[in-house]
């Protein structure tokens, strides 16, 4: 039975706090605290300590995490999908257990799928298809796919959105917003992560995924971008049969990218395939500025018709990323600086872009970057993890209050997918050396005189329009800047006074309440030790202790 679809109607009207409670209960039911590292901060160990009193769960850790993700719905299934690609970071068995989330989520009933298809098209399936297989070909977190054949004889697949899925997604997003707002107010360190902006970006992404007409348009564009390329093939869309909840496209053949054994059997040129994966990524990001941002193994196949010259096949173009021209430029310059180990340039670029405060000591930041980066270069991919490198670099740069860039979140996720695929195909692939020539060529073209002249010509009308008022603007700029700085200083003084008053009035009550809740929860859990772990007393103990520990973690 599909836990992610059967609970949709029950959750359609749920409030964020109720959904948060459901998530917490699922976390406890599947004993997911066992997946967390032992060296957590003291406050987190206090929060999780009562869970050790509960009886063990019979299933493996991977099976429990997979079941929990599927039960909680598409937002969590997608999280599990990403984890399944990180075999370098997870135990192999755990990663294998999570692979079923890529395209083997429990399907919803076939008769329900057929009814949805007929309702969307306005008639029986026989009016549009000569063949229709009620058994789904694949089932994922947001939709499932059925094979069919057009009246013309062409083999296609029909993708249909899961019924009543939007309310559950909106409920999860509301919980994420509530948590993000709470986290953002805890400290300056957490505020710089821009958690609310990250959630907003994710909301735009996943809501777009619910509209298959958007996915169809993305697929058409991606197919057009690679029409003359041997790197990537994108299936043909049949727009006359597409609806907001339904899409019909060409059925493709190919070997799933995760089936490494079959790729070896077919004698695929894996080094070339791995290098082409990196080239495909950089082509999408820098040349097209339109990149497939959901490249988990369930969406990528290999055309094995010519084993010596293999290419990729991409499906599921619902999540597409793009960057502003400024972000493209800074990203390319940073990558080149990393490739060349020019850490002074990296520090300067971060300052120029505003990713770190303007008063940062550039020499100290350069030294930190050097300390993190030097050990990882000139190593094969099998010996380093780009994901781990990003985490370590980010944690180190946090000392300098480096700001998270929400617009780069999709790009970072895609890079992690690329690394995961590269590890499976050809562990010796050097991601840096493969990407460096591409970035160098792109920057050379971007900085060419012809490109600069074209930009100047394009901006000429706007420049001419502003020229008459330029002297007046320059003359009044110092006075306006002084007034702005004075108002800003006054507002900051008032804000500091209000924050100090609020902290002093709430800390005392929060400490008392936290201690009371922890004591009450511990007593309830001890009394419930011999009872079923789902008993009301056990849940009351878990909730009370958790709330108390959260208060103490916040205000001690």
Q: What is the pLDDT along the chain (556 residues), one digit of tens a residue?
A: 333 444 443 443 445 667 777 888 888 888 877 776 666 666 666 777 777 777 778 888 888 888 888 888 777 777 677 666 555 456 767 777 877 776 566 788 999 999 999 999 999 999 999 999 999 988 877 889 999 999 999 999 999 999 888 887 888 888 878 877 876 665 565 565 567 876 777 787 778 888 999 999 999 999 999 999 999 999 999 999 999 999 999 999 899 988 899 999 999 999 899 888 888 988 998 889 998 988 877 789 999 999 999 999 999 898 888 888 888 887 788 778 877 778 888 888 878 877 777 788 888 888 888 877 777 665 654 565 665 566 566 666 667 776 666 556 667 667 777 777 777 788 777 766 777 788 788 877 776 565 556 555 666 676 666 667 667 666 666 766 777 667 777 777 777 766 666 666 556 555 555 566 555 556 555 555 554 555 666 656 666 666 666 655 555 5
Q: Which domain holds residue 393?
A: 267-447
* Residue 28 falls inside a structural domain: yes
- Whether 493 and 422 map to the same domain: the answer is no
- Whether 511 and 414 map to the same domain: the answer is no
- Whether 413 and 285 map to the same domain: the answer is yes
- Whether 437 and 296 map to the same domain: the answer is yes
- Whether 427 and 533 map to the same domain: the answer is no
- Whether 439 and 505 map to the same domain: the answer is no
CB-count burial class (<10 Å; 0-12, 13-18, 19+) for 414: buried
* Residue 418 falls inside a structural domain: yes
- Whether 382 and 531 map to the same domain: the answer is no
Catalytic residue among 97, 103, 294, 303: 294
- Whether 416 and 542 map to the same domain: the answer is no
Question: What is the C-alpha to C-alpha distance for residues 467 and 110, in angstroms, rounded to an integer?
Answer: 66
Listed residues 103, 118, 146: the one ending a domain = 103
* Structural domains of the chain, count: 3
Is 294 one of the annotated active-site residues of the chain?
Answer: yes
The maximal CA–CA distance of the chain, rounded, in angstroms, is 83
Q: Quick check: helix, strand or coil at residue 148?
A: strand
Residue 77: name the closest of 134, 140, 27, 120 by CA: 140
* Residue 385 falls inside a structural domain: yes
Q: What are phi and psi of 305, to 5 degrees?
A: -60, -30
Listed residues 52, 83, 103: the one ending a domain = 103
- Whether 279 and 423 map to the same domain: the answer is yes
* Residue 119 falls inside a structural domain: no
Cβ atoms of 416 and 408 closer than 8 Å = no
CB-count burial class (<10 Å; 0-12, 13-18, 19+) for 375: exposed
- Whether 423 and 323 map to the same domain: the answer is yes
* Residue 83 falls inside a structural domain: yes
Give the H or E element holding residue 155. strand 155-161
* Residue 171 falls inside a structural domain: no
- Whether 383 and 508 map to the same domain: the answer is no
* Residue 248 falls inside a structural domain: no
pTM: 0.67
Listed residues 419, 447, 475: the one ending a domain = 447
Rounded (10°) CA dihedral 234, 239, 242, 247: -10
Q: What is the CA radius of gyration of the chain?
A: 27
């Amino acid at each position: 039975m599909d836990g992610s679809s059967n609970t949709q109607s029950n959750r359609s009207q749920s409030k964020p706090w109720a959904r948060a409670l459901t998530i917490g209960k699922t976390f406890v039911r599947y004993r997911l605290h066992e997946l967390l590292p032992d060296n957590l901060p003291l406050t987190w160990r206090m929060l999780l300590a009562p869970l050790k009193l509960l009886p063990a769960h019979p299933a493996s850790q991977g099976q429990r995490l997979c079941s929990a993700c599927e039960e909680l719905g598409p937002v969590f299934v997608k999280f599990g999908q990403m984890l399944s690609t990180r075999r370098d970071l997870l135990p192999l068995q755990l990663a294998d257990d999570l692979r079923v989330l890529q395209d083997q989520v429990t399907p919803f009933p076939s008769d329900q799928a057929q009814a949805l298809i007929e309702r969307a098209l306005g008639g029986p399936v026989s009016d549009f298809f000569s063949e229709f297989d009620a058994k789904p070909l694949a089932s994922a977190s947001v939709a499932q796919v059925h094979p069919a054949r057009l009246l013309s004889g062409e083999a296609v697949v029909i993708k249909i959105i899961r019924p009543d899925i939007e309310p559950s997604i909106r409920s999860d997003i509301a919980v994420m917003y509530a948590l993000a707002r709470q986290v953002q107010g805890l400290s300056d360190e957490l505020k710089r992560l821009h958690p609310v902006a990250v959630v907003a970006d994710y909301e735009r992404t996943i809501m777009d995924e619910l509209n298959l007409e958007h996915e169809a348009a993305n697929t058409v564009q991606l197919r057009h971008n690679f029409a003359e390329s041997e790197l990537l093939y994108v299936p043909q869309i049949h727009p006359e049969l597409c609806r907001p909840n339904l899409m019909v496209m060409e059925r493709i053949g190919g070997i799933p990218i995760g089936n490494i054994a079959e790729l070896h059997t077919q004698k695929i040129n894996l080094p070339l395939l791995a290098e082409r994966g990196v080239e495909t990524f950089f082509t999408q990001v820098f040349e097209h500025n339109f990149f497939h941002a959901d490249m988990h193994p369930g969406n990528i196949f290999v055309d094995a018709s010519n084993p010596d010259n293999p290419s990729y096949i991409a499906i599921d173009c619902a999540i597409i990323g793009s960057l502003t021209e400024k972000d493209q430029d800074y990203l390319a310059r940073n990558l080149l600086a990393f490739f060349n180990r020019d850490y002074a340039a990296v520090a300067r670029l971060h300052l120029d872009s505003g990713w770190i405060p303007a008063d940062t000591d550039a020499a100290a930041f350069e030294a930190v970057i050097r300390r993190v980066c030097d050990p990882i270069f000139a190593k094969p991919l099998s010996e380093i993890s780009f994901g781990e490198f990003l985490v370590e670099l980010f944690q180190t740069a946090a000392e300098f209050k480096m700001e998270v860039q929400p617009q780069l979140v999709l790009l970072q996720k895609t890079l992690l997918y690329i690394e995961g695929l590269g590890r499976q195909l050809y562990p010796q692939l050097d991601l840096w050396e493969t990407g460096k020539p591409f970035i160098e060529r792109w920057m050379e073209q971007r900085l060419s005189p012809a490109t600069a002249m074209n930009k100047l010509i394009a901006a000429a009308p706007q420049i001419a329009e502003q020229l008459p008022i330029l002297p007046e603007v320059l003359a009044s700029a110092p006075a306006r800047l002084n007034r702005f700085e004075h108002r800003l200083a006054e507002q900051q003084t008032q804000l500091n006074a209000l924050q100090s008053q609020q902290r002093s009035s709430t800390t005392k009550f929060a400490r008392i309440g936290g201690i009371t809740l922890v004591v009450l929860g511990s007593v309830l859990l001890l009394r419930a030790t011999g009872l079923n772990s789902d008993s009301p007393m056990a849940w009351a103990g878990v909730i009370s202790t958790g709330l108390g520990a959260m208060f103490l973690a916040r205000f001690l």
